[in-house]
Structure 1
Amino acid sequence: MKRLVQAVAAIVLICVLPLVGQTEKTMETPMGSEARTRCVGRYAVDLPAEFEPRALEASVGLPRAVAVTGLGPGTERDLRAHVEARRAALAAGVEEPEGFFRLAEERNQGGMALLWRKAFDPDLPTFDPGSVGLEAYYLREGHMFRARVDGFRSPEDLGQLGEGPGQLDLPEIAAATRPRESTGLPPGPGICAERARLDMPVRASEHVTARFHHPSGQGVILTFELSQHASLPAPPYADLMTSAASKPREVAGLKGEEAREIETGQARVRFEFSGVAGESVGEPSRAIRVLLIAAGQPGPGDGLAQENLEAIWDRALDSLERR
């Protein structure tokens, strides 16, 4: 086992075949289908067109990470309606993957609608999480956006987002937000998020997770976890979660380790790469983890032979590059 990459871990689950499209550049894939170049964070990667983007999560800031998501085109009236629907849901109490939440406070500030949410336990009325989270809604260039950040003791601590070299406040993040469709490479630099692009240099800490899967439901998911730090307070570490023997490999300029596990009897494949650059305290650093997991028994004509999965894996790692 190598050392663990701080804030960079990629998990790839289950599905088997090629990936879906996101760019103007096309090419032939190992399976003979069209491939497209996708934008993930500050990187571009070539993937078979059949693989579908399932999640693209991007956040900036340290120690409080602010995650930005595009909500699509809209006017001020559309945004007010969206915020009101969310406010009503929180007021009634909502169940989400992370738990149960209810509205703690609401306000408007600097052209943003702010909704504070607090976790609760429906079976334990006296439960107090001791913190609140924020959802900030705003318009940029005719599109609606949401910024989420957690870990405040109370809404009065919002000002802490502007404190310290690793934090970015909400006005800075909103000013850097640009609309972006989920397909195609954006015209400029910055961080590709879900229907959004953050047009900013590496000023703090960034973490991006991008997950792709094949819609057949037969078993391949490919995940990228990418992080950058302008000045890391502690060295990043790389640790392969895969138990198979590893070998050195360089991806997007990062030296790391790659491991491949193949269980032919169960039609199970697990490929993993982890690499870092910049391991001294206080210097810029980058980290990448990529994970491909395939599980399930392929049917006739699926094109899921081991050599095809390996070719898709190699193409993804070899093409991954900073934009």
Structure 2
Amino acid sequence: MRKTRAALAVACLILTVAACDHKPAPLSQQEKQIVTELTANMKTRCVGRYMIDMPGEAVESGYAKIQGVSVEAKAMTEDVWRQEVAQREAALKATRSRDAYPFLYAAGQARGEHTYYFIHRGTIYEAPATRHIEGYKWDSGYRFLLKIETYDYTHPDQTDDPIVKQFDVKNEVPGKTAVVFSLLEKLRGRSPDDIPAEPGVCFAGGFLPAPAGGNEDVDAQFNLTHMQDVSFDISTTPDVRERTTLLQRADSPEVRQELRDADGMLVRKGIVDLHGPEAEEWLVEGRRPGGGRGHSFSLTSNETTSGPATPYVSLDLTTGGQLMIQGKLVKLEKASLTTGEAVGLWDTVSRTLRLRPGAM
């Protein structure tokens, strides 16, 4: 019976996805118990300008890219931060370029207390015009590391080069340095339970106060501690606007072929009401990387209407496949969750996705 039901689902998917309404089987008592245990202690988390409720055991990681600058936060003490900066400065000063030009161009305090910055070539193989700007800050138990790559065609002077002559700006270092300094001045350390009430962007370990605007990308991952293959991923940005939606792309011949290749089964698809923005979801079970079976659930909102007031957001749940455990790649024969349990967890978490009050 189970094989027949799976075959029917795959057939529906291949022939005409839009006309097939496959529904997961009701949860068994054991599956209900597992879902209840996973969702008994939900915690509100802040990602970009959104909020979502995650199982309390989920560990968050992630990063942001704001105004072209990558931003990461890591929990550490002030002493460890100072040691890290000192070691980085020593390593950069000890590096010698392969040409006649410097490797380290600038180092010192940036803007505000507990800040530092470096401007250097990146590697000894980089061109003389290449510059890497690194900014460091410690605040409220978190170290921020900011990075951006740019150029300076004035030191050494290459402004007579025909290609360089076409550039409106021959030296981007001052402008990019000002951006990094401004971010360092504003960034705040933030614990997972800290949900700001003011306009701004949340990312793992940090918060940037700022009104709604463009040029901001945030990605966050939440991994369950006792089911390491179970992972939620959230991405959000106001800068992406697609021509098609998730359901339109999923109904393409290419995706149908990918599902056939993975012996995949459509679990559920459709429109989701998030009590505000409308979203679309696409839930699939099939072979995952490594050969074992698992799940790939996706939800998107504001794909074709993304902007500062309506930032694009995507939520994914993956289970099964392969993962790193203590430095070794482990291939799982099956996922930690059954399809029913994965759907139960997905429904509890995904329906809590909403804009953070005051975020804009």
Query: Secondary structure of the equivalent of 2:51?
Result: strand
| 2:10 corresponds to | none
Aligned-pair CA distance for 1:305? 2.2
2:284 to 261, 284, 292: 261
Aligned-pair CA distance for 1:271? 0.7
| 2:234 corresponds to | 224
2:272 to 237, 249, 252: 249
Structure 1: how far apart are the matches of 2:81 and 2:340?
A: 48
**Larger helix proportion of the pair:** 2
Aligned-pair CA distance for 1:209? 0.4
Query: Secondary structure of the equivalent of 1:219?
Result: coil
Distance 1:227 1:57, change over 3 A: same
| 1:107 corresponds to | 107
1:201 equivalenced with 2:211 (yes/no)? yes
| 2:225 corresponds to | 215
Alignment of 1:1-323 (within 5 A): 29=36, 31=38, 33-53=40-60, 55-61=61-67, 64-69=68-73, 71-74=75-78, 79-91=81-93, 104-108=104-108, 109-111=110-112, 112-120=115-123, 128=127, 131-140=130-139, 145-154=143-152, 157-161=172-176, 169-186=179-196, 188-216=198-226, 219-229=229-239, 235-237=241-243, 240=246, 243=255, 246-251=269-274, 253-263=276-286, 266-276=292-302, 279=305, 284-295=309-320, 296-297=332-333, 304-323=337-356
Q: Which runs of 5+ in 1 are unaligned?
A: 1-27, 94-101, 163-167
Aligned-pair CA distance for 1:88? 2.7
Select the structure with the greater relative contact order (CA < 8 A; seq sep ≥ 6): 1
Structure 1: how far apart are the matches of 2:194 and 2:243?
A: 32
Query: Secondary structure of the equivalent of 2:184?
Result: helix
Aligned-pair CA distance for 1:116? 2.5
Distance 1:134 1:30, change over 3 A: same
Q: Deviations over 1:118-176 (max 9, x none)?
A: 443xxxx7554963321112355x656434232311395233248xxxxx823432332
The residue type equivalent to 1:56 in the other structure is G
Structure 2: how far apart are the matches of 1:68 and 1:252?
A: 32
Q: How many residues align?
A: 265
Structure 2: how far apart are the matches of 1:274 and 1:224?
A: 10
Counterpart contact for 1:36–1:49, Cα < 8 Å: yes
Tell me the TM-score normalized by structure 2.
Answer: 0.61
**Larger strand proportion of the pair:** 1
Q: Which runs of 5+ in 2 are unaligned?
A: 1-34, 96-101, 156-170, 257-265, 321-331
Q: CA RMSD in A?
A: 3.7
Aligned-pair CA distance for 1:224? 0.4
The residue type equivalent to 1:315 in the other structure is T
Query: Secondary structure of the equivalent of 2:195?
Result: coil
| 1:15 corresponds to | none
Query: Secondary structure of the equivalent of 1:182?
Result: coil
Query: Secondary structure of the equivalent of 1:204?
Result: coil
Structure 2: how far apart are the matches of 1:199 and 1:137?
A: 18
Tell me the TM-score normalized by structure 1.
Answer: 0.67
| 1:21 corresponds to | none
Structure 1: how far apart are the matches of 2:237 and 2:198?
A: 19
Distance 1:208 1:252, change over 3 A: farther
Q: From the CA coordinates, give the structure whose radius of gyration is larger.
A: 2
| 2:7 corresponds to | none
